[in-house]
């Protein structure tokens, strides 16, 4: 990833050579693309890392900690996440949408190329993640985000994120 930022714009286009002609570099100054990609990657790490922590680490801790303590910890984490995650999602979706604009030709006809199809599925799954977030926020506000629902939403988002990351890499390396 880091080496992408050190190369000039024409070289960058060559690196993305797995999708020749798919990206419309005229749609935005080419120099801004690597910074959007960096922001997107940092957002994906922050978001994916948070979900990984909650599903894999926190759930593993549950059986070693009294229920009362766990409820307090989950409440604290939930409050902090409510402050931080909206900004992470803003960076992730804002940069993702800006980059996707350059691929709008491929997205307009997703069945015409493997890249277009994989990117379209990736975006649909990302929108589903956003839907999960909105549902969780609405339930929390109404005091109906009980532990079982909370865990179910986390597990579903975790599975989404794993598939999204696989698709994000596959779309540049898998061709049919
Ligand atoms: C949960 C939400 C999302 C996650 C976890 C995620 C994750 C990723 C990852 C890991 C990459 C690969 C970055 C790299 O190779 O350095 C990527 C690439 C990309 N994502 Fe996302 N993404 C998300 C949402 C979105 C959304 C909402 C859009 C557009 C509407 C989007 C559009 C793109 C595009 C166009 C690329 C290709 C960038 C490139 O390598 O040139 N992503 N995403």
In a domain? residue 10: no
Using the atom order of ligand 1, give the atom closest to the CA of residue 165.
Answer: 10
In a domain? residue 21: no
pLDDT on residue 14: 35
Q: Would you state the torsion angle of the CA atoms of residues 13, 170, 119, 48, taken in this order, to the nearest 10 degrees?
A: -100
Which of 126, 132, 154 to mutate to test ligand 1, by most ligand atoms within 8 A of the CB atom? 126
Cα separation, 62 vs 46, whole angstroms? 23
Alpha-carbon 78 to chain mean position: 19
- What average pLDDT score do residues 171-176 get? 94
Q: Does residue 2 surpass a pLDDT of 80?
A: no
Residue nearest to atom 20 of ligand 1 (CA): 96
In a domain? residue 24: no
> Is residue 171 within 8 Å of 119, Cβ to Cβ?
yes
Total of domains in the chain = 1
In a domain? residue 2: no
pLDDT on residue 140: 84
In a domain? residue 135: yes
Q: Which of 147, 8, 21 is nearest to 73 (CA)?
A: 147
In a domain? residue 36: yes
Dig out the tokens for 127 from the structure.
Answer: 């929108």
- The boundaries of the domain holding residue 64 are 29-173
- What average pLDDT score do residues 110-116 get? 97
Whether the CB of 123 sits within 6 Å of ligand 1: yes
Whether the CB of 93 sits within 6 Å of ligand 1: yes
Cα separation, 13 vs 18, whole angstroms? 10
pLDDT on residue 121: 98
Name the percent of the chain in helix, strand, coil, to the closest 5.
Answer: 80, 0, 20
Q: What are the tens digits of pLDDT across the range 38-93?
A: 999 999 999 999 999 999 999 899 889 998 998 899 889 888 998 999 999 999 99
- What average pLDDT score do residues 109-119 get? 97
In a domain? residue 17: no
Point out the least confidently predicted range of 8-12, 107-111, 142-146: 8-12
In a domain? residue 124: yes
């Amino acid at each position: 990833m880091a080496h992408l930022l050190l190369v000039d714009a024409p070289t960058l286009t060559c690196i993305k050579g797995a999708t020749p002609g798919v990206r419309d570099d005229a749609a935005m100054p080419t120099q801004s693309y690597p910074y959007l990609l960096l922001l997107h990657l940092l957002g994906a790490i922050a978001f994916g890392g948070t979900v990984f922590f909650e599903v894999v680490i926190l759930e593993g801790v549950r059986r070693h900690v009294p229920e009362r303590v766990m409820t307090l910890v989950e409440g604290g984490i939930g409050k902090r996440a409510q402050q931080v995650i909206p900004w992470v999602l803003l960076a992730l979706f804002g940069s993702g949408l800006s980059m996707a604009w350059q691929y709008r030709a491929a997205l307009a006809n997703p069945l015409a190329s493997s890249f277009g199809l994989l990117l379209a599925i990736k975006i649909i799954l990302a929108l589903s993640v956003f839907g999960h977030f909105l549902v969780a926020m609405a339930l929390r506000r109404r005091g109906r985000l009980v532990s079982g629902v909370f865990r179910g939403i986390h597990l579903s988002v975790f599975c989404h994120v794993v598939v999204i990351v696989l698709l994000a890499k596959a779309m540049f390396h898998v061709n049919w």
